[in-house]
Homo-oligomer: A and B are copies of this chain.
Amino acid sequence: MTKAVVLLSGGLDSTTTLAIAQAEGYEPYALSFRYGQRHRQEFACAVRVAEAMEVAEHRVIEIDLRQFGGSALTGDSAVPKDRKPTRQENDIPVTYVPARNTIFLSFALAWAEVLAAGDIFIGVNVLDYSGYPDCRPEYIAAYEHMANLATKAGVTGHRPLRIRTPLIRLSKAQIIGKGTKLGVDYALTSSCYDPESDGRPCHGCEACRLRAKGFAEAGIADPLLAGPR
């Protein structure tokens, strides 16, 4: 089987991405991060998802992005709970974490190189998160180009590395539909940016609202809301 590194947060998108990588026949090496995020619940979900979906290996990287600050997700300001996503003056959501995807992909790149894996999967999406600079197709293309120059592939010239983004142009409803067909158990996943102390979703943040809207549009009941597990 061909190895692939899959970035796994434990959320709906990355879990669906993992299922897609498996359906394409890849042997997935899942990579998760504890980076000081508010939503630690998500990390517990990553562990459950990796186990349930029987990845080849699950590695967890500890990095503290709180020390740089600059994001509501790492505690610099409150996670917005209103209807309209809160934006910074430059129209970037306050939940944007500076260079986070670049840091995550760079660790994935190191692991892919050591594993001799030719593919890195990341569940970025341009529709729901249009304000995040590091979710756009042009960013991913530039990262892929850089990654091929950064590593042995850039010297030997064979077997280029690909950054795979199977969700990038899908709506949340399409993502949920696709994952459901692939047998993803969304009860294992978590989307909330600011969960209650018992781990239940807040239902108010942008991530909760996008998830609810996606399940509604897909005509599927969110199993996470079916009751405690």
A interface residues with partner B (beta carbon < 8 Å): 59, 61-65, 67-70, 90-92, 96, 98-103, 105-107, 109-111, 113-114, 131, 133-134, 136, 138-139, 142-143, 145-147, 149-152, 154-156
Contacts and interface: CB of A to CB of B under 8 A. Distances in A.
A63 B65 contact: no
A210 B104 CA distance: 33
Contacts of A147: 102
Given A98-B109, A145-B146, 15 more contacts: A59-B67, A68-B114, A90-B155, A98-B152, A100-B110, A102-B150, A103-B103, A103-B106, A103-B110, A133-B152, A133-B154, A133-B155, A134-B151, A138-B149, A139-B146
B99 A106 contact: yes
A64 to B, nearest CB: 8
Contact of A102 (B67, B96, B109, B152): B109
A88 to B, nearest CB: 8
A201 to B, nearest CB: 27
B98 A102 contact: no
Contacts of A155: 90-92, 131, 133
A93 to B, nearest CB: 11
Q: Which of the listed residues A68, A90, A100 has the most CB atoms from chain B within 10 Å of its own CB?
A: A68
Q: Which of the listed residues A91, A134, A146 has the most CB atoms from chain B within 10 Å of its own CB?
A: A146
Contacts of A149: 133-134, 136, 138-139, 142
Contact of A113 (B99, B109, B110): B99
A98 B146 contact: no
A29 to B, nearest CB: 11
Nearest to A155: B133
Contacts of A98: 109-110, 113-114, 151-152
A136 B149 CA distance: 8
Contacts of A68: 110-111, 114
A61 B59 contact: no
Contacts of A62: 64
26 contacts: A59-B67, A61-B63, A68-B110, A68-B114, A70-B114, A90-B152, A90-B156, A92-B155, A96-B152, A99-B106, A99-B110, A99-B151, A102-B106, A102-B109, A103-B103, A103-B107, A103-B110, A133-B149, A133-B155, A134-B150, A136-B149, A138-B149, A142-B145, A142-B146, A142-B150, A146-B146
